[in-house]
Amino acid sequence: MARINYHRRIIKTFESLKKSHPTYNIGRHISTALDGYDDIWGVNDKEFLSALQKYEVELEIDYPHTDEEELQKIIKCGMNLERMFLEEDED
């Protein structure tokens, strides 16, 4: 059974992050991926890889809304939230 090379997989994950988010520096990736850890000195390679992969998935899900029409629709819906809740209470 082949042993998992966590270092190599961590580097590949960083390469993927650099490709998908070229303006983010490596410190930002590390800091954000390990944000929930109290003692980062105690994080082993397996945990670090898992945290990086989870962070990468979260970045993929949280895409930026760049279409101006879509942004205006989101803002308009947000302004109507109170009215929507009032209509639900009346039903």
Question: Helices 45-61 and 26-33, interaxial angle, to 10°?
Answer: 100
Residue among 76, 68, 37, 39 nearest 54 (CA) = 37
Residue 1: predicted pLDDT: 53
Residue among 46, 48, 74, 57 nearest 21 (CA) = 57
d(CA 16, CA 57): 11
pTM above 0.75, yes or no: no
Q: Percentage of the chain with pLDDT > 90? A: 49
Confidence of residue 70 (pLDDT cuts 50, 70, 90): confident
Confidence of residue 64 (pLDDT cuts 50, 70, 90): low
Tokens found for residue 47: 């945990």
Quick check: 29 pLDDT over 80? yes
Instruction: Write the single-letter amino acid at 61.
Output: I
Residue 52: predicted pLDDT: 96
Which of residues 79 and 31 earns the better pLDDT score?
Answer: 31
List Cα–Cα distances, 4 to 7, 10, 69, in angstroms. Answer: 9, 11, 46
Residue 72: predicted pLDDT: 79
In terms of phi and psi (left: phi > 0; alpha: psi -120 to 50; beta: otherwise), the region of 44 is beta
